[in-house]
A and B are shown apart, each in its own frame.
Chain A
Amino acid sequence: QKEVEQDPGPLSVPEGAIVSLNCTYSNSAFQYFMWYRQYSRKGPELLMYTYSSGNKEDGRFTAQVDKSSKYISLFIRDSQPSDSATYLCAMSAATLGGGGSNYKLTFGKGTLLTVNP
């Protein structure tokens, strides 16, 4: 079993739809959960950052973390064509390393989203 599982899609929705993206994970030590957006031929851009379980909202984006189920979600409301990108979930557990804590990220494979006008 991979540490992080993410449905690669592709996912195609009409403009204005609510989009739900999900990841599951197996490592119960993960405490930090992120969603990155990656446009074609660009680097990943941090969208949402949450610590432990709970919800976080930022504009049209809502991130949810359920540590008991080892399941995280990203919801996009009123989706726009400009939201068309690959969405990567990433997570981390703090580990002690030389001089301080290390936070290596484990990524999902990404979900390719297309929002059609």
Chain B
Amino acid sequence: DAMVIQNPRYQVTQFGKPVTLSCSQTLNHNVMYWYQQKSSQAPKLLFHYYDKDFNNEADTPDNFQSRRPNTSFCFLDIRSPGLGDAAMYLCATSRVDTASQHFGDGTRLSIL
């Protein structure tokens, strides 16, 4: 089945220690998104890629970076995680011509 796969499912890191989350897709979608979701809250869009074009949300902290080396893969880098960055991070993809998005199962990030 075509899908969106996130690794790892659970990640524990130390305060201030850089961490990278990965997302891959077999849907061949042009657009990839990263969301942050905290408990009982709506997913919050951090940034998205339209092919290689990177689009940052205005309120995404500078601490968060992203890379998309090819169509299939996208990475979320958190340079110096703080306690407030503990959350579920969701990757999603979509075709160019549709509003619906396909989500991975997320990476739950814990900060010690």
**Chain A residues proximal to chain B, CB less than 8 Å:** 4, 8, 32, 34, 36, 41-46, 49, 88, 92, 94, 97-105, 107-110, 112
Contact = CB atoms under 8 A, between A and B. Distances in A.
Interface in B7-66: 40-43, 45, 48, 50-51, 53, 55
Given A41-B108, A104-B45, A109-B42, A99 B98 contact: no
A93 to B, nearest CB: 9
B90 A99 contact: no
15 contacts: A34-B99, A41-B108, A42-B105, A45-B103, A94-B99, A99-B50, A100-B97, A101-B96, A101-B97, A103-B98, A103-B99, A107-B43, A108-B42, A110-B42, A112-B40
Contact of A43 (B40, B51, B99, B105): B105
B42 A107 contact: yes
B81 interface: no
Contacts of A42: 105-106
B102 to A, nearest CB: 7
B106 A32 contact: no
Task: Please give me the 4 A-B residue pairs with the lowest Cβ-Cβ distance, nearest first.
Answer: A43-B103, A32-B99, A103-B99, A107-B42
Contacts of B82: none
Nearest to B48: A104
A26 B4 CA distance: 31
A112 B40 CA distance: 9
Contacts of A41: 105-106, 108
A13 B96 CA distance: 39
Contacts of B51: 99
Nearest to A39: B105
Given A105-B99, A109-B40, 9 more contacts: A8-B40, A34-B99, A42-B106, A43-B105, A46-B100, A49-B99, A98-B50, A103-B98, A104-B48
B18 to A, nearest CB: 24
A94 B96 CA distance: 11
B94 interface: yes
Nearest to B94: A103
A97 B96 CA distance: 11
